[in-house]
Structure 1
Amino acid sequence: MTASVLCVSSFGLPSVKPKPGGFESLDIHEGHYGVPDVMTYGLSSSRPNVASSHPLEQSEKMYTKNKELMHMTMLRNLQGLHAPLRLTMELRAAEKVGRLPFLPSSNFMRDVLSGRDEEIGFEDFLNTAEFREQMGQPHAVLEKQLGIL
């Protein structure tokens, strides 16, 4: 009975609390002398084995995903199934808008649909197109995409 009351009181919304991630053991194959056997197993990358040091870090990484999930669940509870389906369909259509490959995309349509057009973040002034590190020649980029080059 408490489980049904708990489910009704939360309205099916996802949990806001961060879920603790377990630490994974490092898979290092050691040789006869206790030294990693690089010749047999190769160099191992430590990046995928590094766990977050604090639960807040994992929560911050998943913030936008959790926010979108909460928004879609709330839309479904308030307006029915059509609202999140329609919004998802519009977001997918906004992602498929074609543009020449050498022109950077501002993703303004996606930002408007998700409500990010009213927020100011670091990507608004630090990631502008005119200060990009890589800039290709437009004709060469088009020829490469068309398979001419």
Structure 2
Amino acid sequence: MSFGLPSLKVKPENAGNVTVQEGPFGIPNPMVAGIGSTKNKLGMSHPLQASEKNYHLNEEKMNMAMLRNIQGLHAPMKLSMERKFASKVGRLPFMPSSNLQHDVFTGRYLDIGFEDILNTSEFCEVSGQPHAVVERSLGIL
């Protein structure tokens, strides 16, 4: 009996589908795209990296399938709607957001991870000029 739960086996991702906007010299422009834009061209460095990258997504899928089997279709639909609305709440593109409401809905506010310790806003590399960041998010730049 499978109970409709998703598979726990890790499936390799296709790295060929990634499109990177390239500048005039064949590399992304770091002033527009940011320093982290070149990471998309890199492959996986460890076999567990793909599994750890999708851990929260796989856990959420299993929890939603289990909730659907126990309480019915309305419960996962209500939770996913609340999470969707919580993830849309934000600030202007150049201001960092803590996403506390979304973390509370997903239960990630209890976990201490890599991003909580080493991803502080004062060491962030993607802060730029506010006007340029807003124009890029609107598709003007």
- 1:12 is matched with which residue? 4
TM-score, normalised via structure 1 length: 0.60
CA contact (8 A) 2:44 2:50 kept: no
Q: 1:62 to 1:134 in 2, by over 3 A?
A: closer
Q: 1:104 to 1:16 in 2, by over 3 A?
A: same
TM-score, normalised via structure 2 length: 0.63
Amino acid at match of 2:56: T
Question: After the TM superposition, which residues 88-107 of structure 1 pair with which residues of structure 2 at under 5 Å, given as runs?
Answer: 88-107=80-99
Distance in 2 (CA, whole Å) between partners of 1:129 and 1:93 is: 24
Residues matched between the structures, number: 115
CA contact (8 A) 1:101 1:141 kept: no
CA contact (8 A) 1:52 1:58 kept: no
Structure 2 gaps, min length 5: 13-39
For the residue of structure 1 that corresponds to 2:98, the secondary structure is coil
Distance in 2 (CA, whole Å) between partners of 1:14 and 1:147 is: 37
CA contact (8 A) 1:95 1:110 kept: yes
Structure 1 gaps, min length 5: 1-8, 22-46
Q: 1:142 to 1:58 in 2, by over 3 A?
A: closer
Corresponding position: 1:132 with 2:124: yes
Query: CA RMSD, aligned part only?
Result: 3.5
Distance in 1 (CA, whole Å) between partners of 2:105 and 2:75 is: 12
When Rg is computed on C-alpha atoms for both structures, the one with the higher figure is 1
- 2:65 is matched with which residue? 73
Question: After the TM superposition, which residues 1-149 of structure 1 pair with which residues of structure 2 at under 5 Å, given as runs?
Answer: 9-19=1-11, 21=12, 54=47, 56-138=48-130, 140-141=131-132, 144=135
CA contact (8 A) 2:86 2:102 kept: yes
Bigger relative contact order, structure 1 or 2, given CA contacts below 8 A and separation 6+? 2
Aligned sequence identity (%):
58
- State the 1:141 CA deviation: 4.8
